[in-house]
Structure 1
Amino acid sequence: MKAFLMLLGFLACVDAMATEAVPVKVLTAEVVEDVRTVRSSGQLVNRSEQVLSFKVDGIVKEVKARAGQRVKQGELLATLNLDEMQAQWKKAKALMERSRKSFDRARSLKQQDLISMDNYQELETNLAVAEANFRIAEFNLQHAVIKAPGDGVVLERTIEPNEWIEPGQGAFRFAIEDSGWVVRLGLTDRDALRVNIGDKAKIRLDAYPGRYFDSEVIEISGRADPLNQTFSTELRLVNPPERLLSGLIAHCEIQPGYREQVVMLPFTALLSGDGYKGQVWVLDEENRAQLQQVRIGYLNHGQVAVTEGLEAGVKVVWQGTPYVVANEPVTIVR
């Protein structure tokens, strides 16, 4: 009998333990704006940076500009050997003038019916060919020199005197000074979707330690680079320092105009996670635990940003989660 009473007492204790509410700490879900800064690094370049070249082939006669030199618009940078081109131009001009005189004489004879139509048309064709050859010779002569397209700086020089150069072969890399400086960088797909043209940014240059320069986003590529799968983005410096060099390393902090609505939770609130999917415990009106599926946006300094699955005002368990049982009541502790 005594043993039976002891067994009943033990079972009563076990039952009490089973029904005892688990102590937990909770927070009330609050929807906030995602204020994360987009950080990336890139290179500083002049927006008008361009390659200058000769339009014709030939031997380089003279190179007047050097790398780093500042020049004025129209200033001569380099020229090819013009002797042969000038001779061809004179020859083409003389032939054109002779052809024009012959045609003028034929036109006068035609009015008097003193020349056959075949001879007239032949002289007319000869004049057209001579004029075309003269235009080609004049084009070659005019484009056998390279002049500065504007006030700017020669960034790089890739030719030397006496070199043979092909049409379109780069001779100088040039930048027009008043076209502005930009930082070119690549953004990941998620960051590219958050950033918009016109968003403000701060730029820090290794060459100017401790200083930040204002900038804004002026261009975002609509297609990812097939090599690195990033989206090319340009930031324009609003008030650049007086002396800059193309190729300087720039570190950028962009403040996105688009801010997603999220619920921030301590990392301990996350019961499980698989990629962007997760689970948390939420409480109903009777403080009973319910398993809730959520979508995880990102992790940031020990916190989880939930983008879907939680509404403002919901109670979320963030401490004591391993001991919670579904549909069982919990005790909220402070």
Structure 2
Amino acid sequence: MKHYHIILILLFTSCAHQLPPATEIRPVVEVVYPQMGKQTVTLAASGMIANSEEISLSFKTGGMVEQVNAEEGQYVQKGALLARLNITELDAQLQQSDLNISKLQRDESRLIKLVKDTTATIEQLQNTQTSLSTAKEQKRGLEYNKQQGYLYAPSAGFILKRTVNPGEFKSPGSPVFTLGSNTSDSKWVFKISVSDKDRIQLHMDQKTMITLDALPGKSFNGNIIKLSSIPDVQTGTYDCYVSFDPGTTNIVYGLTGKLSVGYESSEAYTTLSLDALTGVDGNDAIVYTIGADSLVERKSVHIHSINSKTVSIEEQLNAAVITAGKNDVIPGKRVKIK
């Protein structure tokens, strides 16, 4: 009987050793394979319809303002008459100058004959000729002052500010208008301000795209026409001016919007699907990669830029990155790729 019990124990022990091991349950995941290379980065900045230059206009001669032809916000063509002074006094001086020149010319002719007859001296003739030359120069000065009584637009643009009304007296050099002018052939310019980091990525004639808040669904292609090389003293930012043609679209000064500029990054980055990120905190995030023997590894990464469906990170990754099923994985455990 004792031997019988020993045989039963040996049989049970033998059967226990022959049982198959428990099957390991591996979470099923989906992955992407990262790509390394230089990325096209989109710079986005807010701005407004503006002008590339602001010109302060004034009369070079003082006087009473008789006529004003431009209002604030009005678009004017190059050469348009903006305002003029009362030039009645100058006209009277010019008429008097003409009479004086005519008299001196007659005196000169008479003295030339008298000198030939030796009844007048050469000195008298020379004095008259000097007076005649002086009178002609004075007339040219009066004519110049008369021309300066008319204020014309030096270039096409918008009247940003008007500080004059008919009947006012304006001293020489006193501001009358501030004209917003463009250095390009385009009537419209979009202005943005960018940081030093973004400024070094921009260059002249770079292609851009503009969207305006007042015109949803519309976009305009533009080119950079002016870039400041010195930062603004107050903001520390750099100004960028973009010329664009709105076609038949009605545009007004001061409209706000956004500008997008694409450029290639100077360094290579790793591109992943946006679904690969988890635990995003500012520019930091977590990804799960699959290493040797299908083991999961948890890695911290730094975000460089995010596009609509992809993300560029600074770290180089050579392993598959989990995009779906991240919540079921445990670092150091195996997974099954779908």
What TM-score, normalized by structure 2, do the two folds share?
0.64
Q: Among the aligned pairs, what percent are the same residue?
A: 27
Change (3 A) 1:72 1:43: closer
Q: 1:219 to 1:154 in 2, by over 3 A?
A: closer
Q: What corresponds to 1:258 in structure 2?
A: 264
Alignment of 1:290-329 (within 5 A): 298=304, 300=306, 305=312, 310=316, 314=318
Alpha-carbon shift at residue 222 of structure 1 (Å): 2.6
Compared CA separation, residues 219 and 75, structure 1 to 2 (3 A)? closer
Contact 2:186 2:244 (8 Å CA) reproduced: no
Q: Which amino acid aligns with 1:195?
A: L
- Unaligned stretches of 5+ in structure 2? 1-28, 293-300
After superposition, the Cα gap between the structure-2 partners of 1:143 and 1:317, relative to the gap in structure 1 and judged at 3 Å, is same
Bigger radius of gyration: 2
Give the drift of 1:78. Answer: 2.4
- Give the TM-score taking structure 1 as reference length: 0.64
Unaligned runs of 5+ in 1: 1-24, 286-293, 325-329
Corresponding position of 1:219:
226
Match of 1:186 among 171, 175, 193: 193
In structure 2, the partner of 1:5 is: none
CA contact (8 A) 2:222 2:245 kept: yes
1:34 maps to amino acid: Q
Report the secondary structure of 1:87's partner residue. helix
Matched, 1:170 2:145: no
**CA deviation after TM superposition for structure 1 residue 142, in Å:** 1.8
Please say if residues 59 and 165 of structure 1, whose CA atoms lie closer than 8 Å, have aligned partners that are also in contact.
yes
Residue pair 1:89, 1:141 contacting (<8 A) in 2 also: no
- The alignment's C-alpha RMSD in Å is 5.0
Superposition pairs of residues 40-189 of structure 1, within 5 angstroms: 40-46=45-51, 50-68=55-73, 76-103=81-108, 115-116=121-122, 119=124, 121-147=126-152, 154=159, 156-174=161-179, 179-189=186-196
Contact 2:34-2:319 at 8 Å conserved across structures: yes
Equivalent residues, number: 294
After superposition, residues 214-253 of structure 1 pair within 5 angstroms as 214-253=221-260
Distance of 1:111 and 1:298 partners within structure 2: 96
Q: Aligned partners of 1:297 and 1:238: how far apart in 2?
A: 36
Query: CA separation of 1:56/1:211 partners in 2, compared to 1, >3 Å: closer, same or farther?
Result: same
Structure 1 residues 247 and 109: alpha-carbon distance in aligned structure 2, compared to 1, 3 A threshold: farther
Query: Closer, same or farther in 2 for the Cα pair 1:60/1:267, shift >3 Å?
Result: same
SS at match of 2:71: coil
**One-letter amino acid of the structure 2 residue matched with residue 211 of structure 1:** K
